[in-house]
Amino acid sequence: MPNLSAVPLAAPPVHRRTIVRPTLILLLAIAVIALGGCGIFNTHKKVAVAPLLTPLSDANKATLIAEINRVASVKSVHGKVDILFEDTSFADQGISDKYRQADGTITVQRPGKIYLIIKVPFIATDIAQMTSDGETFRVAVLQGDEKYKRFVKGTNNAGP
């Protein structure tokens, strides 16, 4: 005959603490996440504001006219640029493709002429070239697969 005194008659009592504690921790975690996303914590940050420029020198009318004429005599500006491309053609569907940053050189000449060369970083091979005369633009894509290599010509008028 089996020993019945060793067999428990009922399951051990479930303590209320073992149920309340995980539920309380879960609710507390949800509250912290929800309140943290609302901007309740850390809403004020100190921002460095550049000081206002004060006049560096006094100038009479003749000096100002001479300075304006000096700036107006500049016919072209040449510089280096860093370009980051982003394709937003599917932005209405939430898709945006970002490409690596490229180096470039730009020459801007009055009136409205632009010449831009985009190069592969570190190799200095041309990726694309663009020119504009103020009315039309021309873009030559020189690198990439055959589906990307092309010559595009268009107008600068955006139109309504």
Q: List the pLDDT tens digit at each of the 160 positions of the chain.
A: 555 555 555 555 555 555 567 777 888 777 777 666 655 555 566 778 888 777 777 888 998 999 899 988 989 999 998 888 787 777 777 777 777 788 899 999 988 899 999 998 888 788 899 999 888 999 999 887 888 788 889 887 776 6
Q: Is the pTM of this model over 0.75?
A: no
Peptide bond between residue 121 and the one before it cis (omega within 30 degrees of 0): no
Per the structure, the complete domain to which residue 104 belongs is given by 73-155
| Rounded distance between C-alpha atoms, residue 127 and residue 141, angstroms | 6
The structural domain count of the chain equals 1
Q: Tell me the backbone φ, ψ of residue 79, rounded to 5 degrees.
A: -160, 170
| Per-residue pLDDT reduced to its tens digit, 46-72 | 778 888 777 777 888 998 999 899 988
Cα→Cα distances 85→9, 46, 100, Å: 74, 32, 7
